[in-house]
């Protein structure tokens, strides 16, 4: 149909898929658009889990994941692979999300063809190019290229203006992660069997307080991961808690966690959960211990305190609201902060408020409207 905007949405990892499926749904349902999807499959299993629950069948799948892939090898393969898809599709817009190698290479390949780029989750900055690494620089590169910057919050919009991005191209849309979370919570409410797979763990740890854990950041590899494992071991010595840790498939994470944590009574090291089950894990957890970006946004939305095992965050909104706390990767500090929440009801109550500084669940509709122009 003439006049329809052809939108090519490009993604490759679990968090991008989670944050872009609501937009893909919105574009597919809207007659103003011809929606096309290209996945790099920078992640494989963890991406496929999201594609399946969201019901997305990509038009292109580059199947690029290699075991323990290097950043340069991955980036080179992405650039050439995505370039070829762009030559075939010739879209009116390329949409990328966040800060991954796929998002950065997708934006660069589009720029090389003078195709305008829409950046979803624009303007997040920690101010330190080594934390998170390499995401801070990926965001800056995409921010230089994008013609449309969908900033989740006022803070991220201000960060872009500080970098002299044309204010007319910056729009505060909210973060699509809230759309995704609302969608999945509604799906599970309608069909609880979608999240029933945690029943064994829930029975095993009945009567204990659950701490949900995730960790995968590259800047934490080595010492940081070791310290996180030490903190988990120490917390697990308490009889009243259980730590449930779906371990990221990156071998650099799995090696340390398997060596240090397997076989402990109060620790369940499990495979990555699909999104309904992960939402359930947050719901049954007393608190979340994480270095993830997305979990920092989801836990506050579900009223769960989140201790962020990082030195800096590009998501200060949760910290400012008092629902998230930066605790770094020192084992003593992690244990101290977690125990404070476990043992001090007042400290816990102060952090355990449902709070949604990142969005209202209608971000995808706003972004779709912007793509018409
Ligand atoms: C990537 C992103 C990071 C994002 C994270 C989300 C980059 C540079 N990094 O990091 O920004 O926060 O995803 O999780 O873009 N693997 C599997 N199966 C999978 C996924 C990964 O086996 O489904 C293993 C593979 O051995 C792969 C390795 O993990 O080589 C690393 O994957 P990669 O996407 O390069 O980096 P992440 O650390 O996952
Ligand atoms: N997540 C999931 N299963 C898991 C762990 C996380 O579905 O076992 C989801 C989580 O809800 C969030 C996203 O994955 O939406 C975060 O991805 P990740 O931590 O890998 O990347 P980051 O957000 O740090 O880039």
What is the rounded CA–CA span in Å between residue 63 and residue 53? 19
3-state DSSP percent of the chain in helix, strand and coil, to 5: 50, 15, 35
| DSSP per-residue string spanning 23-54 | HHHHHHT-TTEEEEEEE--SSSHHHHHHHHHH
Residue range 179-206: mean pLDDT, rounded: 96
166-186 per-position pLDDT tens digit: 999 999 999 999 999 999 999
For residue 68, how far is its CA from the centre of ligand 2 (angstroms)? 19
The yes-or-no answer on residue 130 being catalytic is no
356 pLDDT band, cuts 50/70/90, is: confident
> What's the per-residue H, E or C state across 211-244?
EEEECCCHHHCCHHHHHHHHHHHHHHCCCCEEEE
Q: Is 14 a pocket residue for ligand 2 (Cβ < 6 Å)?
A: yes
Q: Dihedral sign, CA of 172, 178, 268, 324?
A: positive
Class of 197-352 per CATH? alpha beta
Cα of 295 vs centre of ligand 2, distance in Å, is 6
**Would you say the CB of residue 294 lies under 6 angstroms from ligand 2?**
yes
Give the residue from 20, 107, 10 showing the smallest Cα distance to 62. 10
Q: Does the pTM exceed 0.95? A: yes
Which CATH number applies to 5-175+359-372? Answer: 3.40.50.2000
CB 62 within 8 A of CB 89: no
Structure-block tokens of residue 263: 């076989």
Q: Whose CA is nearest to atom 3 of ligand 1?
A: 100
The verdict on whether 311 is a catalytic residue reads: no
- pLDDT mean over 142-151: 98
Q: Which of 89, 99, 314, 337 is catalytic?
A: 99
Can you point out the beta strands (E) in the chain? 5-11, 33-39, 60-61, 93-97, 117-120, 148-151, 170-172, 209-214, 241-246, 267-270, 285-290, 306-308, 324-326
Q: Which of 119, 139, 248, 315 is catalytic?
A: 248
pLDDT in tens, 292-350: 999 999 999 999 999 999 989 999 999 999 999 999 999 999 999 999 999 999 999 99
pLDDT at 1 over 70: no
Do the domains 5-175+359-372 and 197-352 sit in the same CATH topology, yes or no? yes
Residue 2 is predicted with a pLDDT of: 59
Q: Which of these is catalytic: 16, 61, 135, 317?
A: 135
Beta bridge partners of 172: 151
Q: Identify whether 216 is a catalytic site residue.
A: yes
Work out the mean pLDDT of the chain and round it to a whole number.
97
Ligand 2 neighbourhood includes 214 CB (under 6 angstroms): yes
Question: Using CA positions, which residue lies closest to atom 38 of ligand 1?
Answer: 250
The whole-number average pLDDT for the span 74-80 is 98
Q: Could you give the angle at the alpha carbon of 305 between the alpha carbons of 216 and 158, nearest 5°? A: 75
Calculate mean pLDDT across residues 357-363: 95
Q: Which long-range contacts (CB under 8 A, 24 or more apart) does 369-373 make?
A: 370/118, 370/148, 370/150, 370/171, 370/173, 371/5, 371/7, 371/27, 371/33, 371/93, 371/95, 371/118, 371/148, 372/5, 372/32
Q: Are 42 and 12 contacting, i.e. CB atoms less than 8 angstroms apart?
A: yes
Q: Specify whether 135 is catalytic.
A: yes
In the block, residue with structure tokens 């230089």: 144
Domain residue ranges in the chain: 5-175+359-372, 197-352
3-state secondary structure 237-266: CCCCEEEEEECCCCHHHHHHHHHHHCCCCC
Length, in residues, of the chain: 373
State the Cα–Cα distance between residues 232 and 244, nearest whole angstrom: 10
Q: Which ligand is nearest to the CA of 19?
A: 2
Q: Is the peptide bond before 25 cis (omega within 30 degrees of 0)?
A: no
The share of the chain scoring above pLDDT 70, in percent, equals 99
- Burial label for 287, CB within 10 Å (0-12, 13-18, 19+), is buried
Query: Looking at the CA of 294, which ligand is closest?
Result: 2
**Per-residue pLDDT averaged across 66-86, rounded?**
98
Sheet holding 241-246, edge to edge: 267-270, 241-246, 209-214, 285-290, 306-308, 324-326
The count of C-alpha atoms lying within 13 angstroms of the C-alpha of 254, restricted to the half-sphere facing its C-beta, is 11
- Residue 171 CA, ligand 2 centroid: distance in Å: 25
Nearest bound ligand to the CA of residue 249: 1
Ligand nearest to the CA of 48: 1
**Is any atom of ligand 2 closer than 6 Å to the C-beta of 15?**
yes
- List strand residue ranges (DSSP E) for 40-134, in order: 60-61, 93-97, 117-120
Contact indicator for 309, 293 with CB cutoff of 8 Å: no
State yes or no: is 226 an active-site residue. no
Q: How far is the CA of 274 from the centre of ligand 2 (A)?
A: 9
Structure tokens that stand for 292 in this block: 């993830």
Active site residue 330: no
CA of 308 from ligand 1 middle (Å) equals 19
The strand pair at 93-97 and 170-172 is best described as unpaired
């Amino acid at each position: 149909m003439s006049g329809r905007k052809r939108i090519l949405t490009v993604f490759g990892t679990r968090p991008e898929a989670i944050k872009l499926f609501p937009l893909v749904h919105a574009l597919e349902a809207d007659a103003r658009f011809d929606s096309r999807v290209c996945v790099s499959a920078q992640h494989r299993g963890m991406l496929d889990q999201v594609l399946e629950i969201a019901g997305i069948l990509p038009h292109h799948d580059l199947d690029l994941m290699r075991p323990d892939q290097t950043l340069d090898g991955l980036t080179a393969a992405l650039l050439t692979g995505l370039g070829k898809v762009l030559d075939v599709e010739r879209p009116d817009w390329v949409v990328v999300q966040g800060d991954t190698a796929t998002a950065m290479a997708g934006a660069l390949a589009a720029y090389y063809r003078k195709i305008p780029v829409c950046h979803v989750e624009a303007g997040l900055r920690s101010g330190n190019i080594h934390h998170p690494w390499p995401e801070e620089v990926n965001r800056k590169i995409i921010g230089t290229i994008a013609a449309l910057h969908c900033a989740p919050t006022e803070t991220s919009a201000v960060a872009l203006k500080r970098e002299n991005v044309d204010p007319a191209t910056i729009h505060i849309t909210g973060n699509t992660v809230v759309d995704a979370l609302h969608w999945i919570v509604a799906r599970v409410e309608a069909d609880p069997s979608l999240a029933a797979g945690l029943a064994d763990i829930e029975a095993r740890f009945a009567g204990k307080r659950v701490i949900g854990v995730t960790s995968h950041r590259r800047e934490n590899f080595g010492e940081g991961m070791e310290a996180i494992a030490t903190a988990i071991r120490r917390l697990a010595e308490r009889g009243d808690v259980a730590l449930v840790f779906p371990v990221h498939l990156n071998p650099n994470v799995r090696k340390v966690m398997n060596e240090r944590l397997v076989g402990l009574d109060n620790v369940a090291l499990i495979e990555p959960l699909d999104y309904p089950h992960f939402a359930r894990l947050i719901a049954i957890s007393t608190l979340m211990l994480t270095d993830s970006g997305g979990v920092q946004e989801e836990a506050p939305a579900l009223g769960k305190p989140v201790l962020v095992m990082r030195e800096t965050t590009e998501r200060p909104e949760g910290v400012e609201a008092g629902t998230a706390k930066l605790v770094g990767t020192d084992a003593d500090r992690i244990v101290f902060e977690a125990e404070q929440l476990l043992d001090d009801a007042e400290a816990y109550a102060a952090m355990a408020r449902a709070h949604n500084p990142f969005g209202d669940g209608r971000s995808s509709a706003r972004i779709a409207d912007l793509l018409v122009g």
